[in-house]
Amino acid sequence: MAMLEASADRYDRPPVVGSPHDAATVTDQVSNIVYGRTPLWWLGTFAVAFSIFGVMTISIFWLLIKGTGIWGINVPVGWGFAIINFVWWIGIGHAGTLISAILLLLRQEWRTSINRFAEAMTLFAVACAGLFPLLHTGRPWLGYWLLPIPNTMGMWPNFRSPLIWDVFAVTTYATVSALFWFTGLIPDLATFRDHAKNKLARTIYGIASMGWRGSARHWHNYESVYLLLAGLSTPLVLSVHTVVSFDFAMSIVPGWHTTIFPPYFVAGAVYAGFAMVLTLVIPLRPLFKIQDLITERHLQNMAKVMLVTGLIVAYGYAMELFVGWYSGHHAEKFMLENRITGPYWPIWWSLILFNVAIPQLLWAKRNRTSPMALFAISMSINVGMWLERFVIVATSLHRDYLVSSWDMYTPTKWDWGLYLGTIGFFLTLMLLFIRYLPMIAIFEMRTLTPGAKVKHPETHAKAH
Amino acid sequence: MANQDAPILYGLMAELPSAQALTDAAAKVHAAGYREVDAYSPFPIEAVSEIVCDHKRSVMPKIVLAGGLLGLLGGFGLEYWAAVIKYPLNIGGRPFFSWPSFIIPAYECTILGASLAGVFGMLFVNGLPSPYHPVFNVPRFQAASRDGFFLVIKSKDKKFDRTAAKSFLEGIGASEVFDVEY
Amino acid sequence: MGSPHMGSPEMGWNEQQESPREAGAPGLDLAQVREKLAAAEGPEYWRSIEELADTPEFRDMVHREFPRQASEWPEGVSRRGFLELSAASLALAGLTACTRQPEEKIVPYVRQPEELVPGRPLFYATSMELAGDSLGVLVESHMGRPTKVEGNPEHPASLGATDVFAQASILGLYDPDRSQSVTHLERIATWGDFSTALLGRIQALKALQGEGLRILTQTVLSPTLAAQIEDVLARLPKARWHQWEAAGAHSARAAARAAFGADAAIRYDFAKADVVVALDADFLTSGPGWVRHARAFAGRRKAAWKKGEAKMNRLYAVESSPTVTSTQADHRLALPPQGVAAFAASLAAAVGVPGAAAGDLGAFAQAASWVAAVAEDLKAHRGASIVIAGDCAPPELHVLAHALNEALGNAGATVLYTEPVEARAEDQIASIRGLTEDMRAGKVDTLLILGGNPVYDAPADLGFAEALLKVPFRAHLSMHRDETTAWCPWHLPASHFLEAWSDTRCFDGTAAVVQPLIEPLYPSAKSAHEVMALLGATTDATGYELVRGHWQRTVLAGAGAGFEAAWRKAVHDGVAGVGAAASKAVPVAADAVARACAAARESGGGMALLFRPDPGLYDGRFANNGWLQEVPRPLTKLTWDNALLLSPREAEKLGLATESIAEVAAGGKKLALPVWVLPGHAEGCATVHLGWGRSRAGKVGSGVGVDVYPLRTSAALWQAGGVTITKGSGEHTLASAQTHQDIELQTREATKRHLVRHGTVEQFEKNPHFVGEMGHHTPAADETMYPPHAYNGYSWGLAIDLSSCVGCNACVVACQSENNIPVVGKEQVAGAREMHWIRIDRYFQGDLDDPAVHMQPVMCMHCELAPCEVVCPVAATVHGPEGLNEMVYNRCVGTRYCSNNCPYKVRRFNFLLYSDFETEVLRMAKNPDVTIRSRGVMEKCTYCVQRINLARIDAKREGRKIKDGEVVTACQQACPAEAIVFGDLNDAGSEVNSWKASELNYGLLDDLNTRPRTTYLAKLSNPNPALGGGAAHSSGHEGDH
Amino acid sequence: MAQLFSRSANTIAKASIYGGAVVAAALGWLVVEAIPRSSYATGKTVVYKQPVPFSHDHHTAGLGIDCRYCHTSVEESAFAGIPPVSTCMNCHKNIWTNAELLEPIRESYRTGVPVQWRRINDLPDFVYFNHSIHVAKGVSCYTCHGPINEMPLVYQHATLQMEWCLSCHRNPEQFVRPRDQVFNWDYEPEGSQEAVGAKLVQEYQIQKLENCSTCHR
């Protein structure tokens, strides 16, 4: 990858790395977060997160005992919180891959200090997302029937079903993200192996780093693979949310059956993802005093990305309305009327508020540069994106074609339990990650330090 | 040739003060005709890799391509075999060979295959995992994962002669030169 | 399956006698079951009289909890430990292909009955009685285990069709809450104990010629039972026989006496009637012979599109409380009771009935113009019309109807009068009143209550229960330990009609033998015959001997030496074969009309409260039948509750809304009921249904709904005047199978989407293609990217005639019985999780104060391009080579994606463990040919694939093709109106093809290009131009674009 | 820093990776292939104790009693039929009248309490198999039940798994016989089974029913 050109700034933007920093100081600052003693706030938050995680465990246990009937779903609304949360989580995941892969290809070096963190977020978000499609089935213990495994029934999955596409897309996404993340970790694990305080830690990191020693020959292949992975992840991340959107777009349910879904789902995913990154990063900067590694500029760039993707999403909503009306189809037209004025109108309107209205504040530089404001706006987007999925899933189904089968969907305490539980699960994993692994890609940060700029020796040039 | 009474060496390791110094040193060593050479740095330095690897391109792209193709064919083949040959079922009036639907899983398989080939290929080609390696015998080497830059001329190099190499390395700006024992 | 079984029915009976064994599953060993049940302690129901009498808390709606069945735990499991259940749910994982089979035993017969082929069902003919009417049925028996009731094609009341009650009677047989033993003062006793006690009593009474001995029965149709009773009365002249039928034909009897001075049964021939006027009459789903009536009436509706038949008839409905019948009406007029009476009087006058005086219709717009128009129409169809008054209409309406029919020359043509069918026609109100007074006066020493539940359903003003306590010796024969049981020291468990021999007569007088299918599940259960036999002179003890003996003496006396053959034939066919009762001429007394008109004029104003038998629970006797509790009531779609039905305007006036609590006060009594606003209900009156709020019905039925009998007095059995309705406090959730919110919006959208397409005969004749022109563009068959799959061989399809369907629910319960569909309980229905494979959608159309109502049965459409199949990730629902949309339960993982993608929402999901795998006796009710679905799998209508497969296999074995009509789906078979036809679309000559060939044929939502195999024939109506088209005329063109 | 790991670490590391892969593969094979098809899972060839050790070998191969003498409904019903005790007594009233082994039969005949046999060929409850049509289409007892005529105690001959059913439903020509040979234990096809089978498939109009509702409903 090309970190050779100067990171010294051509524009009046805050620098990517606060000076003065060299390879050593960068290394130590990030490592010390791991070597250092466990901060009290970490213990506190971990305790909270872990107990919420407990709620998830209970909800799952009860679900397996009694069946999906403990949820609010019914006929016509066969999908409820489970699928809403699935789409929400998987969407959040997307920012990570986008930052680490797409920005890498775009040579956006500012990505360097947040990509590791974002990738971890991706991984854990996908883990949460992955729970739901399995658990929402009536007989989860038969989940393996969705995989193409030879069996005594001579049966195979139905490859025409968008749900099978989901299985392939999500498992691939999870695997590739994990590989990408781990590959990035190897050199930093080596750093911990060499510098961690106690022997046990060194051994563990040593095993994990597989004997990495920074050999130029290794770097040679490493860099090439890393770039290729980035190249592969980019179409992958686009495909994943496209496939997720197919779950809806491929059906004939009014409000689902629409071609705008793939692009606007992907945009929505990035939107949600960046919101979540900000939500997590903004408090962490002061807590770990890493403002000079994750700088104002990072926040601003992310704010801009959110603004853009947010506008795409808004455009998506607009198109939905327009096409619904333009189609002239009775059911489509009614679906819109019902979303806006039907029994679930408050949800649709708050979606517009949280997802479209409030994010417009990002136009103002004042807000982009104020962490507090950014935090508030990202929170609004987190909520807004969840509401979007609720609108898509619930309000489309509850009043579809046949008037006689209209009904309402009301989530139960178990719906909420499992949803909140996964948030606890997510935070637990996040906290463990920032405590025990380098949450910033150290070796990539080194490349941004002044000392990393190398002139190609003319001696050598002459030799050829 | 190394004289007999000396301990068996893996090579000589020179520590260099900076990335730039390492690059220049690598260039000089290469110019001097040493080929069994490796450089160690806390972050990738393209120039150094180029020189050390004697300007050979990495094999990784080929491996990744192979993996991708394997995934593509495997995935699509499986779908075709299962849905058309093994157990054809009339599903929603669609044809048995519903290729448009088959594209997506095949596509995902391609990416999966390529990525797996990439990562595990890289580890394999780099001979990892190898938790034990002679260079770790040099206490100072631990800096290589922080801010240290090292250059090693291996003993198996045809031109290798301990004393000559040592002085040569000292000559090209090594702050210090260590023996790397097996 | 049409013809009654092969071989001798008595063999069938004898075979039952030596406890048949089910091969295969050990759980189905009758003997085992019987032992278990006998061993089981009867549920402890006894409370002190005081507590019992303290009824208000039973009636308190607001604090009533849901029936236990409604809990998320399947009934029976609820009491089990947590671990056991988790084990159970893990066991469910076992329903996959790759786990081991549990150990199973095979239990063959010891001596196998000759005509029985293990694994093939047998069919026996018998009859089911219900409140003074009876229906001939064929009962399917698997290895001696009755599993399904079908109509008996050779029985005049059935002609092969059935009703909800007959269909649900199977569940009644296997009701786990049935009484299992004789008890005296709640202690287990024996029949020996009882007969000793009783006979001791009788000895004492002999001296007094039976003075003080009373027998209380419901309406008796059984000639044998009547003879047994008469015999006792003959020997004990001072003994008395009383009858009480809560929802009986009281008005008809009174009217017959008033009009003809004699008792008479009335028989209608709707096939011959061009014009029908229904006065508060629901003749299409209730009243004697309704199944037959529905068939005949529907025949005349089909006439509209079936070429070359008589022309379509016309129905005028004038009524206070909306009836299913009126949904078929070409013109419907909603009037309060006094309005209906006035209308009848005026109509009589207009037609020129001697002595008739027009009533006062001033208060009712339309009514006057109606009288004129209807009178004209009737006069134009003399001898080819019917004026019919319903069982719940007051006597004067019946008298006027008789007079009208006479004046129009219908009497003897479309309306026939015969001798009464019931064994002893009497004024049952007087009868029960007499009994109660005598009891109170201490004149009754010994009272035998043979069936019925008078403590619960006797008129409130009589104070039956309290009077009952004055009787020293009280015995009650009943299937459940019900309210009356609680007031009688002696309880005698009654046998189910499928367990005992008896005989009966149906609406046209045809006699039939009631043949048992199975030995009583609870050995001590006995029939009324056997109880009466205790007092009998003859030595005949068993029901078999009694009935056979009586038939030899009377019904088949003609057969003489040939009796044996005649008897066997009668038992085998299910009908006596001696024909219907002869009709007789009965002139209407001149002054009767005048008196009726006077009565009509006097019928008071003010708010009236109408009592109607419940479409599911009837008079309360079916309260413990889960199928009938959960069957959505035709017009309200309510389940598991009754409510106070009010018209929208009335509700507004009273400040009441659906589900709010209303307080109803009549004759000093007060009740709190939840309100249900029913469009089309007349103003100035409200309707409540009988049969609810049972305190001792059983686990399923106790404490469900509100008991309204306390408001029902002997003076006003069907409508109480001067009622006050006020807003009560609180709310009560009602479980409706069809959401009731935004009813206007629903009406608007339903019309826009042309879900129910309908028009008038006139319209149809002018433009035969008007149905096709309705609705949205339907893609042509070749508008597709994909080459279509070919269906050689059979290609199944189904058609439903909306002009015929009356929405009686027979198909719904038939399907439930045939396909082992579980009951889910109120909570689940309220949560939109009911499991019925067929639902009958009800749409209002037009003005909600006077809407047209349409019924549309909807089940899986078996779409050729099924949206559900494509999205299933595991191919658990796929298309078969014969066009069936196959649902493979054991492959289903339960993603519910198919249901989401089904535009008809006909798929049903087992959100919880709904099927009862626990209760031994209920397992016997299951159809062995259909998989019982467990938790987490999707299910839906299969076109009764088990019947198709059986027919295919038989046909293949005989090397032929399946004949048209050989495969009959359960819904089609049950349908009284022949509104459903099923068959092979590749067979040019098939009935289903001839239906689909009609221009009226359309596919529901076919603009979605799903290519449904189930299609509908648009509903036609035949309005009277003189009445400006009428309700059905505004044939949904509003939404057109 | 000194070496963190010994020399052997390299070998161990590599071995653990390759070893892991091998173990995973082995486990996969066990779970997917070996266990589901094992006689433990299918019950194939397992012999169970019966109330009376009835020997088909003796009665069929030995005495030459026709299958249908006991399994009366095999040609007309889904269920082949297990003989009522009275059938046994037809002969055993007269022979072996006081054999100890037959006491349960005689007792059942006396008391009317039926004998409870252990079911051997047992399909899951969601599978509907019909004997009559298979027999009618020329599928022999042998095809599914194997050499039951030589079994002293009956055991399950086939796996009875879906793939096994399909193997015949997809290629009936490899199994069908002339109708009159269905109950013949010494049947040998005249010519190759393929040839005979193909002809019979034509003649009997045997469909290759692979669709779900053929067996599941």
Q: Give the residue from B84, B94, B96, B101 with the most C CB atoms within 10 Å of its CB, the best one to mutate.
A: B94
User: Does any CB of chain B come closer than 8 Å to the CB of residue A181?
Assistant: no
CB proximity under 8 Å: A 315-334 to B: none
Q: Which of C106, C109, C119 sits opposite D119 (nearest CB)?
A: C106
Q: Which amino acid is at D201?
A: V
- As beta bridge partners, residue C137 has C126, C151
In B, which residues are within 8 Å of D171 by CB distance?
none
Pick the more confident residue, B4 or C104. Answer: C104
C12 has pLDDT over 70: no
Q: Which amino acid is at C522?
A: Y
* CA distances for C262 relative to C219, C387, C428, angstroms: 18, 20, 15
Q: Which of D165, D166, D191 is nearest to D178 (CA)?
A: D191
In B, which residues are within 8 Å of A235 by CB distance?
111
Given a contact cutoff of 8 angstroms between Cβ atoms, the answer to whether A267 and A313 are in contact is yes
Write out the two tokens for C691: 């049969």
Contact A193 D13 (CB under 8 A): no
CB proximity under 8 Å: C 855-874 to D: none
**Chain A residue with minimal CA distance to D3?**
A194
**Chain C residue with minimal CA distance to A167?**
C873
Q: What is the mean pLDDT of residues D88-98?
A: 89
Q: What is the mean pLDDT of residues C500-504?
A: 93
Query: What CA–CA distance (Å, rounded) separates C942 from C267?
Result: 39
Q: pLDDT for C169-179, tens place per residue?
A: 999 999 999 99
User: Does any CB of chain D come closer than 8 Å to the CB of residue B101?
Assistant: no
Q: Which of D109, D126, D211 sits opposite C890 (nearest CB)?
A: D126
Pick the more confident residue, A166 or C1029. Answer: A166
B-C CB pairs within 8 A amount to 33
Helix, strand or coil, per DSSP, at residue A16: coil
Contact D4 A203 (CB under 8 A): yes
Query: What CA–CA distance (Å, rounded) separates C559 from C548?
Result: 13
> At CA C421, angle to CA C420 and CA C427, rounded to 5?
55
Residue bearing tokens 């190394």: B2
Buried b (16+ CB within 10 A) or exposed e, D153-183: ebbbbbbbbbbbbbebbeebbebbbbbebbb
Q: Give the residue from C782, C784, C785, C789 with the most B CB atoms within 10 Å of its CB, the best one to mutate.
A: C789
User: Does any CB of chain C come closer than 8 Å to the CB of residue B125?
Assistant: no
Distance from CA of C912 to the nearest CA of A (A): 5
* CA distances for C788 relative to B95, C556, C1002, angstroms: 8, 62, 21
Sign of torsion over alpha carbons D38, D42, D43, D44: negative
Distance from CA of D212 to the nearest CA of A (A): 11
C26 has pLDDT over 60: no
Q: Which of C93, C841, C873 sits opposite A404 (nearest CB)?
A: C841
Distance from CA of A341 to the nearest CA of C (A): 12
Q: Which of C388, C508, C293, C286 is nearest to C977 (CA)?
A: C293
Distance from CA of B131 to the nearest CA of D (A): 6
Position A36 scores a pLDDT of: 86
Position C363 scores a pLDDT of: 84
Position A2 scores a pLDDT of: 35
Q: What is the mean pLDDT of residues C4-33?
A: 35
Query: What CA–CA distance (Å, rounded) separates B35 from B13?
Result: 15
Residues 6+ apart with CB under 8 A from C960: none
How many other C-beta atoms are found inside a 10 Å radius of the C-beta of residue A286? 10
Render C250-279 in DSSP notation, one character per residue: HHHHHHHHHHHSS--EEEE-GGG-SEEEEE
How many other C-beta atoms are found inside a 10 Å radius of the C-beta of residue A289? 12
Q: What is the mean pLDDT of residues A67-87?
A: 95
In D, which residues are within 8 Å of C930 by CB distance?
217
Q: Which of A436, A453, A440, A417 is nearest to A53 (CA)?
A: A417
Q: Which amino acid is at B169?
A: L
In B, which residues are within 8 Å of D21 by CB distance?
none
Helix, strand or coil, per DSSP, at residue D42: helix
C17 has pLDDT over 50: no
Given a contact cutoff of 8 angstroms between Cβ atoms, the answer to whether C503 and C547 are in contact is yes
Residues 6+ apart with CB under 8 A from C561: none
* Residue C879 host element (H or E): strand C877-879
Contact D124 C18 (CB under 8 A): no
For chain A, the chains sharing at least 3 beta-carbon pairs closer than 8 angstroms are B, C, D
- CA-derived radius of gyration, chain A: 24
CA atoms within 13 A on the CB side of B2: 19
Given a contact cutoff of 8 angstroms between Cβ atoms, the answer to whether C1002 and C757 are in contact is yes
Query: What CA–CA distance (Å, rounded) separates C890 from C855?
Result: 34
Query: What CA–CA distance (Å, rounded) separates D102 from D99?
Result: 6
CB proximity under 8 Å: B 151-180 to A: none
Query: What CA–CA distance (Å, rounded) separates A453 from B4?
Result: 43
> Strands (DSSP E) along A130-208, which ranges?
none
Stretch among A206-215, C113-122, C804-813, C938-947 having the lowest mean pLDDT: C113-122
User: Does any CB of chain A come closer than 8 Å to the CB of residue B121?
Assistant: yes
Query: What CA–CA distance (Å, rounded) separates C943 from C150?
Result: 17
Question: Angle, nearest 10°, between helix axes A40-66 and A112-135?
Answer: 20
Given a contact cutoff of 8 angstroms between Cβ atoms, the answer to whether D188 and D216 are in contact is no
A357 confidence band (pLDDT: 50, 70, 90): very high
**Chain C residue with minimal CA distance to A156?**
C874
**Chain D residue with minimal CA distance to A198?**
D4
A14 confidence band (pLDDT: 50, 70, 90): low
Q: What distance lies between CA D197 and its chain's CA centroid?
A: 21
In C, which residues are within 8 Å of D128 by CB distance?
929, 946, 949
How many other C-beta atoms are found inside a 10 Å radius of the C-beta of residue A162? 24
Position C995 scores a pLDDT of: 94
Question: Angle, nearest 10°, between helix axes C528-535 and C543-553?
Answer: 80
| Global confidence as pTM | 0.90
Q: Which of A212, A215, A235 sits opposite B38 (nearest CB)?
A: A215
How many other C-beta atoms are found inside a 10 Å radius of the C-beta of residue C777? 9
Q: Which of A347, A362, A352, A188 is nearest to A274 (CA)?
A: A362
Given a contact cutoff of 8 angstroms between Cβ atoms, the answer to whether A362 and A307 are in contact is yes
Residues 6+ apart with CB under 8 A from C61: C661, C672, C673, C674, C706, C732
CB proximity under 8 Å: C 1000-1039 to B: 1011
Contact B145 A169 (CB under 8 A): no
Query: What CA–CA distance (Å, rounded) separates C277 from C315?
Result: 6
Contact C908 A141 (CB under 8 A): no
Contact A343 C936 (CB under 8 A): no
Given a contact cutoff of 8 angstroms between Cβ atoms, the answer to whether C461 and C667 are in contact is yes
Distance from CA of C1010 to the nearest CA of B (A): 9
Give percent above pLDDT 70 in chain C: 89
Helix, strand or coil, per DSSP, at residue C735: strand
Given a contact cutoff of 8 angstroms between Cβ atoms, the answer to whether C255 and C395 are in contact is yes
Q: What is the mean pLDDT of residues C589-602?
A: 87
In A, which residues are within 8 Å of D5 by CB distance?
206, 211
Position C138 scores a pLDDT of: 94
Q: Give the residue from D76, D111, D125 with the most C CB atoms within 10 Å of its CB, the best one to mutate.
A: D125
Contact A206 D1 (CB under 8 A): no
Pick the more confident residue, B135 or C73. Answer: B135
In C, which residues are within 8 Å of D113 by CB distance?
110
Q: pLDDT for B49-94, tens place per residue?
A: 999 988 888 999 999 999 999 999 999 999 999 999 999 999 999 9
Distance from CA of C308 to the nearest CA of B (A): 38
Helix, strand or coil, per DSSP, at residue C661: strand
**Chain A residue with minimal CA distance to C98?**
A152
Q: Is the peptide bond before D172 cis (omega within 30 degrees of 0)?
A: no
User: Does any CB of chain D come closer than 8 Å to the CB of residue A194?
Assistant: yes
Write out the two tokens for C298: 């529907």
In B, which residues are within 8 Å of C886 by CB distance?
none
Pick the more confident residue, C537 or C483. Answer: C483
Query: What CA–CA distance (Å, rounded) separates C62 from D25?
Result: 63
Query: What CA–CA distance (Å, rounded) separates A426 from A422?
Result: 6
Q: Which of A75, A152, A251 sits opposite C908 (nearest CB)?
A: A75
Q: Which of C354, C338, C357 is nearest to C346 (CA)?
A: C357
Contact C879 B95 (CB under 8 A): no
Helix, strand or coil, per DSSP, at residue D83: coil
Report the phi/psi class of residue C980: left, alpha or beta, with left for phi > 0 and alpha for psi in -120 to 50: beta
A94 has pLDDT over 90: no
Q: Which of A69, A146, A330 sits opposite C752 (nearest CB)?
A: A330
Query: What CA–CA distance (Å, rounded) separates C434 from C416?
Result: 32
User: Does any CB of chain C come closer than 8 Å to the CB of residue D77?
Assistant: yes
How long a stretch of residues is chain B?
A: 182
Contact A151 D166 (CB under 8 A): no
Contact A152 D10 (CB under 8 A): no
Report the phi/psi class of residue A290: left, alpha or beta, with left for phi > 0 and alpha for psi in -120 to 50: alpha
Q: pLDDT for C919-934, tens place per residue?
A: 888 888 999 999 999 9
Render C837-862 in DSSP notation, one character per residue: SSEEEEEEES-TTS-EEEEEEE----
* CA distances for C363 relative to B8, C332, C342, C366, C683, angstroms: 122, 17, 10, 10, 12
For chain B, the chains sharing at least 3 beta-carbon pairs closer than 8 angstroms are A, C, D
D146 confidence band (pLDDT: 50, 70, 90): very high
